[in-house]
Structure 1
Amino acid sequence: MLDLVAKVREDHPRMGGKKLYYLLQEQFMTQGIKLGRDALFDLLAANNLLIRRRKRKAITTFSRHKFRKYTNLIKNLTPLRPNQVWVADITYWFTEAGCLYISLLTDAYSHRIMGFAVAETLATVHCRCALEMALRQISKRAGRHLIHHSDRGIQYCSQEYLAPLAAWHVQVSMTENSDPLENPVAERINGILKQEYLSHQPVRSLDEAQQHLERAVFLYNYKRPHLSCNYQSPDEAHRSWGPLERRRKNYYKPPGGDEPKVSNFRTTTETVNADPDYH
Structure 2
Amino acid sequence: MGLKKLYHKLKYKPFGRDKFIAIGVETGLSIPRPKNYQRTTFSTKSNRYQNLLVGIELDDIDQLWVSDITYFWVNNRFYYITLIMDVYSRKIVGYCGASTLEASANMEALTMALKMRKKKTFENLIHHSDKGTQYVYKDYVELLESRKIRISMCNVVYENTHSERLNGIIKNEYLRHRSINSLADLKRHLAKDIELYNQDRPHDNLNKMSPHEFENYLQNVPKKQRVKMNIYVDERTINKQKFGQQLVLF
- Map 1:87-166 to 2 at 5 A: 87-96=66-75, 98-140=77-119, 142-166=121-145
- Residue 236 of structure 1 deviates from its aligned partner by 1.5
2:19 to 39, 56, 60: 39
Whichever residue aligns with residue 174 of structure 1, its letter is: M
Alpha-carbon distance in 2 for matches of 1:201, 1:112: 22
Moved over 3 A (4+): 139-142, 241-246
Q: Is the 8 A contact 1:150 1:156 kept in 2?
A: yes
Please state if 1:197 is matched with 2:174.
yes
Question: Per the alignment, in what secondary structure is the counterpart of residue 118 of structure 1?
Answer: strand
The match for 1:249 is: none
TM-score by length of structure 1 reads 0.75
Question: Per the alignment, in what secondary structure is the counterpart of residue 57 of structure 2?
Answer: coil
Question: Per the alignment, in what secondary structure is the counterpart of residue 190 of structure 1?
Answer: helix
Alpha-carbon distance in 1 for matches of 2:134, 2:95: 15
TM-score by length of structure 2 reads 0.83
Alpha-carbon distance in 2 for matches of 1:163, 1:263: 26
Please state if 1:212 is matched with 2:197.
no
- Residue 186 of structure 1 deviates from its aligned partner by 0.8
Please state if 1:27 is matched with 2:12.
yes
Q: 1:212 to 1:139 in 2, by over 3 A?
A: closer
Please state if 1:227 is matched with 2:208.
no
2:43 to 63, 73, 77: 63
- Residue 87 of structure 1 deviates from its aligned partner by 0.4
The match for 1:9 is: none
Q: 1:75 to 1:57 in 2, by over 3 A?
A: farther
Whichever residue aligns with residue 78 of structure 2, its letter is: C
Of stretches 93-102 and 133-142 in structure 1, the one that deviates more from structure 2 is 133-142
Q: Give % identity.
A: 37
1:179 to 141, 147, 157: 157
- Residue 80 of structure 1 deviates from its aligned partner by 1.0
Q: Is the 8 A contact 1:101 1:120 kept in 2?
A: yes
- Residue 50 of structure 1 deviates from its aligned partner by 2.4
- Alignment root-mean-square deviation, CA: 2.2
Q: Is the 8 A contact 1:152 1:174 kept in 2?
A: yes
Alpha-carbon distance in 2 for matches of 1:133, 1:45: 38
Higher helix share: 2
Whichever residue aligns with residue 12 of structure 2, its letter is: Q
The match for 1:16 is: 2
- Residue 194 of structure 1 deviates from its aligned partner by 0.4
Q: 5+ residue gaps in structure 2?
A: 234-250
Q: Is the 8 A contact 2:31 2:172 kept in 1?
A: no
Count matched residues.
227
